[in-house]
Amino acid sequence: MMKLSLTDLTALKQQHQRITMITAYDAPSARLADAAGIDAILVGDSAAMTIFGYDQTTAITLEDMLLLARATRRGTSRALLIADMPFGSVQVSDAETVTNAIRFVKEAGVDAVKIEGAGPMVRRIAAVIDAGIPVVGHIGLTPQSAIQLGGYKPQGRTAAAAERLLDDASALERAGCVAIVLEAIPQPVAAGITRALTIPTIGIGAGVECDGQVLVWHDMLGLTGDQGQGFKVPKFVKQYADLGHEIAKALAAYIADVQAGRFPEARHTYAMPADERERFETDHRK
């Protein structure tokens, strides 16, 4: 299968074909998603919680994200690879943001970076685009700014707030973003933004009228579980498998087999020639 290009995303929107995106953080997961035909893989800063066990995305570092992006690249061949620029990598200056974005391209081979926010962040995003690096925007609930937003809450629920989101989306398109993630906003607002833009919208908790959808790998596969931090799987997640339960069953069976001496069996061990075995046992027989 031929590798997708960023222009293919726009073509899919124009052809009214829905775009599929999933997060992944390592080579095996990326390989599975890629083989399944996913259009885009996002190395999300959600890894702060799903991989590293933090209670918020802001804890993950640039070096963490680069490590995960490099691993994910090694499992990706057809799908577009997009990486989140984590909190702290875009806040200081245009120049530092560009430098950090370049690292994702050079060291991890990503096709684009994703940057949260609009308003003052639009100029910073434009600087990255001017440096020749494609950017996916992200508005609505932006987890890196969750404290300022009053927590992990839906956005754009009043007419005025919805209008601001539309203005933000338009500003990001004018800045040159190749796509925009719309997170946790009412479906009518997302639909209006999607109609107003020529670039694709990727929804997560934004309704069915976006040009595509993205879900977090661990959420959709039932791997999130109880993280012991009051974490609840968001309302907008559809769980397509309960792999957490299956893993728990497998581990319980493994523990039981080891403790009962049922594993390993003869077929799981390596043999040695009979004469060599006899010589060894003779030499070490008490």
d(CA 247, CA 255): 12
Residue 167, H or E segment: helix 159-175
Q: Smallest Cα–Cα separation from 110: which of 61, 139, 68, 47? A: 68
- Residue in this structure with the two tokens 């953080």, named with its chain if needed: 25
- Token couple for 12: 């899919």
Burial of 203 (0-12, 13-18, 19+ CB in 10 A): buried
Q: Is 183 a catalytic residue?
A: yes
- Token couple for 86: 């984590």
Q: Which of 96, 107, 163, 183 is catalytic?
A: 183
Q: Smallest Cα–Cα separation from 200: which of 212, 183, 189? A: 212
d(CA 187, CA 174): 23
d(CA 138, CA 243): 29
Residue type, 230: G
d(CA 159, CA 241): 37
The conformation of residue 96, written as its DSSP 8-state character, comes to H
Q: Which residues neighbour 62 within 8 Å (Cβ) at sequence distance 6 or greater?
A: 85, 86, 88, 89, 100, 103
d(CA 44, CA 202): 14
Residue type, 62: L
Residues tagged active-site: 183
